[in-house]
Amino acid sequence: MSDLAITSATRTTLLELNKTRALLDISAKRLATGKIVSSALDDATVFFDAQGLTSRAAELLALKNGINENVTVIGGAIDALEAMIDQIDDIKATINAAKGGAVTGEVATTLTGTYSVTSAAAAVATEIAGAENGDSFDITYDRITTTISIDASTTFTALASTINDISGLTATVSDGNPIVITAADGQDITIANNVGDLGITDLGLSTATSGTTGVNDARSAAEVQFDLFRTQLDELASDSTVLGKNLLNTSPDTLSVSLSDLSTSTLSVAGDATNVTELSITAADSANSFSVDSGITAAVAELDAAKAVLAATVSTFSSHLDTLETRVDYNTALINTLEAGAALLTSADINEETANLLALQVRHDLGVTALGYSFTNGTALTELLRLG
Amino acid sequence: MYKAASSAYDQTKRLALPPRQVEAMAFSKAAQVLGQAGESESDYRSRISALTFNQKVWTFIQSSMMEETCRLPDSLKADILRLSIFVDKQTFKAMALPKAEIQEILKALIRINEHIARGLLSRGEDREENITPPRQYPQNPRRTLS
């Protein structure tokens, strides 16, 4: 058992390290922008009080700071979601590695019917008054449900043989005895009626949970890691708060991003609660144990489904960022101040190549056409350089 | 070039410098901090600080273009405005991205600032034969005018 403890601790450290890395990024955003953005706004106020500059410049700065803050919050959420996806990949590998490991100490589950069969070679439908051709019942074992049905001539022996064919189960019947079904690995055997009441009433079979599944160090360690992973996933969401906003916790915030200082145009970005419950990642407990391979397979299927949900959330937030980029429209008002404004509006969005060419053009014009002209009266920039 | 310009400013900060030179220094300093922000040792705080500083310089320029007292030729005002919008959008984009993905944005912003700073510092010696951007520069190839 001490070996098991060391292995768990090592794996815990690795998982913690991965999580810490992701959180460091998010924390850095939190610390950095908290101080810098507020000081930028303070600076802006100082500038304008001191210099008596246009309120339009102050409004533009405030607007852009607001956009910067919101963009940073969205960026923080995306970072957290991508960290979650990485953690899913890690834990999948860990639990998959535990599959196939031999277990020890299992106690078989035994299911004994209450109906004692008179003649095992007799047809079920003949011997039991209530049983008919076409009746059936369901056996669920190892997460698989099999329907067992009879026709007019199916014997008890044949019925037991069909159950015996189910991988992992053995079934016996003999004259004067009930049907006995055994699961050697200790998993539950669940019985449900399907057509008629053959299973529960006629044969007296009921759900059996008396067994215990065996243990194996790697499987047990995998369960411990899985539970740790579930906790950390939730922590990634709750810790992704940036500038007081959290888009992923159980009651997430909605961002309302101002896109213009001259209108009430805003972009709304809704949060999306993200946690193991929302993602349907079930805990590895006795009902979903990794002591059997089907438990691990089921968990992996849940993890894959969760990954797809997380990827979709990342995609949604990313497209919000794209939308924001195209919808900031304070620039519309800016361009309209020029006489040629209308023509320019259609080409207001430029790419890097065009920007470089424009900059070259400006450099040329400043040297020739606009020789001696400056953009500003220099006062605000003098202050900016002094403080920056 | 910009390092020399900034230190010249530090030494002479009590003198009133011509606005054109102050502007050149502002663009240069912004390019300098953006360059530092792109280095491998830079942290998130310094990247945000550099992007914000650059955006502020451009915002002052941007709002000045709208002043009635602005005497620049219309074509130059239009070019500056279009560039300032590009700077804003690239800045917003960069705020959400991790360090590894903003290198291209930083390079683009630095290049623009360097061009502007050189233009401001020139005394007309950049003749047609030295830099010849076509007056009719191509439109953004990815968008069509409706």
Provide, as residue numbers in chain B, all residues whose Cβ is less than 8 Å from the Cβ of A28.
43-45
Least confident of A13-22, A68-77, B88-97: A13-22
Does B50 touch chain A if contact means CB atoms closer than 8 Å? Answer: no
Percent of chain A at pLDDT > 90 equals 61
Residue B67: other Cβ atoms inside 10 A: 16
pLDDT confidence band for A163 (50 / 70 / 90): very high
Give pLDDT, residue A186.
94
Do A355 and B142 touch, CB atoms closer than 8 A?
no
Parallel, antiparallel or unpaired: strands A180-183 and A190-195: unpaired
Q: How many residues does chain A have?
A: 388
Residue B125 is predicted with a pLDDT of: 61
Asked whether the predicted pLDDT for residue A31 surpasses 70, the reply is no
Residue A269 bridge partners (DSSP): A255
Handedness of CA B64, B67, B71, B72 (dihedral sign): positive
B71–A contact, CB cutoff 8 A: yes
Residue A175 has pLDDT above 60, yes or no: yes
Over residues A156-164, mean pLDDT = 96
Residues 20-39 of B with CB under 8 A from A: 20, 22-23, 25-26, 29
3-state class of A216 per DSSP?
coil
* Mean pLDDT within A18-43: 49
Contact A351 B97 (CB under 8 A): no
Report the distance separating Cα A374 and Cα A376, nearest Å.
6
Q: Measure A290 CA to nearest chain B CA, in Å.
A: 37
Nearest-angstrom CA–CA distance, B124 and B122: 6
CA of B34 to nearest chain A CA: how many angstroms apart? 13
Interface test mutation site (partner B, options A325, A385, A387, max chain B beta carbons within 10 A): A385
Residues of chain B with pLDDT under 50: 14, 128-129, 136-146
Mean pLDDT throughout A99-108?
Answer: 94
The pLDDT tens digits of the residues spanning A217-248 come to 999 999 999 999 999 999 999 999 888 899 99
Distance between CA A241 and CA A239 in Å, rounded? 5
Where does B1-146 have alpha helices with state H? 2-11, 19-37, 44-65, 74-96, 103-121
Contacts of A355 in chain B (CB under 8 A): 83, 86, 108, 112
Answer yes or no: do B112 and A71 touch at CB < 8 A. Answer: no
Plot region of B73 (φ>0 → left; ψ -120 to 50 → alpha; else → beta): beta
Residue A177's DSSP bridge partners are none
Are the Cβ atoms of A388 and B86 closer than 8 angstroms? no
**Would you state the pLDDT for residue A7?**
45
Kindly state whether B45 is in contact with chain A, defined as any CB-CB distance less than 8 angstroms: yes
Note the pLDDT of residue A212. 93
Residues of A in contact with B70 (CB under 8 A): 375
Q: Residue A1 — very low, low, confident or very high, per pLDDT cuts 50/70/90?
A: very low
Query: Which residue in chain A has the smallest CA separation from B90?
Result: A325
A351 vs B53, B137, B140: nearest CB: B140
Q: Which residues of B touch A334 (CB under 8 A)?
A: 62, 65-66, 81, 84-85
pLDDT value, residue B42: 78
Please state, in angstroms and rounded to a whole number, the distance separating the CA atoms of residues B46 and B34. 9
Bigger pLDDT: A64 vs A346: A64
CA angle B53, A82, B89 (to 5 degrees): 30
pTM, 2 dp: 0.78
In this model, does residue A59 exceed pLDDT 90? no
Q: Any idea what the Cα angle at residue A33 is, between residues A31 and A34, rounded to 5°? A: 65
Please state at what angle helix B103-121 crosses helix B44-65, rounded to 10 degrees: 40
Distance, in Å, from the CA atom of A147 to the CA atom of A163, rounded to the nearest integer, reads 9
Sheet of strand A144-149, all strands in order from the earlier edge strand to the far edge: A144-149, A136-141, A190-195
Our CA-based measurement puts residue A36 at a distance from the nearest CA of chain B, in whole angstroms, of: 7
pLDDT tens digits, B40-80 = 777 878 888 899 999 999 999 988 887 777 888 888 888 89
Measure B139 CA to nearest chain A CA, in Å: 7
Assigned token pair, A44 = 């802006």
- Our CA-based measurement puts residue B38 at a distance from the nearest CA of chain A, in whole angstroms, of 16
More confident residue, A15 or B66: B66
For chain A, give the mean pLDDT: 84
pLDDT at A197 over 80: yes
Q: Which of B54, B53, B58, B42 lies closest to B98, judged by CA?
A: B42
Per-residue pLDDT of A284-334, as tens digits, reads 987 789 999 999 999 999 999 999 999 999 999 999 998 887 787 776 666
Write down the pLDDT at residue B139.
46
Contacts of A261 (CB under 8 A, 6+ apart): A56, A59, A60, A62, A63, A330
Separation between Cα atoms, residue A85 and residue A233, nearest integer Å: 9
Judge contact between A351 and B104, C-beta under 8 A: no
Residue type, B3: K
| Mean per-residue pLDDT, A200-223 | 94
Confidence of residue A40 (pLDDT cuts 50, 70, 90): very low
Averaged pLDDT for residues A252-256: 95
Q: Nearest CA of chain A to the CA of B98: how many Å?
A: 8
Residue type, A124: V
Return the pLDDT at A46: 46
- Rounded Cα distance between A323 and A57, Å, is 24
Where do we find the tokens 């400006």? Answer: A362
